Amino acid sequence: MKNLKTVLYALKETSIYMMGIVIVTREDNVIVIDGGRREDMPSLKECINGRHISAWILTHPHEDHISGLVHELETNGAADFDIGTVYCHFPPYDEIIDNHNVPDYDYYKRDLDEMLPAWNKVFPKIKDRTHIVTQGESIIVDELKIDFIYTYHEGLNTNPVNDSSLVFKVTAPNKTVLFLGDLGAEGGDMLFRESRHLLKADIVQMAHHGHMNVGMEVYAEIMPEACIWCAPDWLYNEAEIPEYLSNTEKLKRMGRLRLYGSGLTRKWMDILGAKTHYVTGEGTQKIVL
């Protein structure tokens, strides 16, 4: 054993509302979750500090989560990182891109096009080190157990990429942490229906940076004592219904009526009794697990 404690770092954003999390194990290996954009790579590298990455978990293919790694793979095959295994389960682009039976095809296509083609292009460089996660699977990394609770579900088409987010629970020696990625309302409904009994955790990574996310019932099952917000101050302090979510007719057409600002999520967490809020906009958050 090289470290006395298991430590999680939720990295301060360099690029806007990114998500990058590093967990350093007692054996001095790391688990990386997403990582952010190209601009966030220097701080990610600094935090990892050359350690072996036993698991690099990619929640879903959006720029603010995986474009940094994609850039590193494009540049030099991610040679600056000592990657063991990448874990992900992304939507099957070729199979679903021509599905016009969706509420708003333009949005749907734009969403799938944001990162998936770029990822699919660099994928051959990392394929032999990638494991496609199945729901219900568990892995062990040193003293940590990781249970994958939710993966991509076909047919959630209003918010397709966010709703493909991996949901997983990390069980550490003293704390459990549930990661929700950027799961939205429909994905949250599916998670709740299938796996509500698995959600209880001490700490939760707030879905989709805390806004436009899963419903309160999901957080009520988690019943966390602490919340991790990958969010700048303006997002953490956002209104319950911000301007861009005020056009009810438009949201209705897009099937997105159940998406709200962070102000509402914060109200839920207060009602549920969450006491501690780790907000990355205030700097890198260090949490002993």
Query: Residues interacting with Fe ion, by CB under 5 A?
Result: 64, 182
Q: Which is closer to Fe ion, CB of 16 or CB of 288?
A: 16
**Residue 262 and residue 20: Cα distance in Å, rounded?**
19
Nearer to Fe ion, 40 or 182 (CB): 182
The continuous run of DSSP H or E covering 194 comes out as helix 185-195
The CB-of-165 to Fe ion minimum distance in angstroms stands at 9
Strand order in the sheet with 176-179: 138-141, 144-150, 167-171, 176-179, 203-205, 226-229, 276-279
Burial of 223 (0-12, 13-18, 19+ CB in 10 A): middle
CB of 197: closest distance to Fe ion in angstroms? Answer: 27
Query: Which residue, 112, 167, 168, is CA-closest to 139?
Result: 168
CB of 248 to Fe ion, least distance (A): 24
Residue with Cβ nearer Fe ion (15 or 120): 15
Nearer of residues 25 and 159 to Fe ion, judged by Cβ? 159
| Cβ proximity to Fe ion, 72 vs 182, nearer residue | 182
Please, what is the minimum distance in Å from the beta carbon of residue 107 to Fe ion?
16
- Smallest separation, CB 62 to Fe ion (Å): 5
Rg (CA), the chain: 18
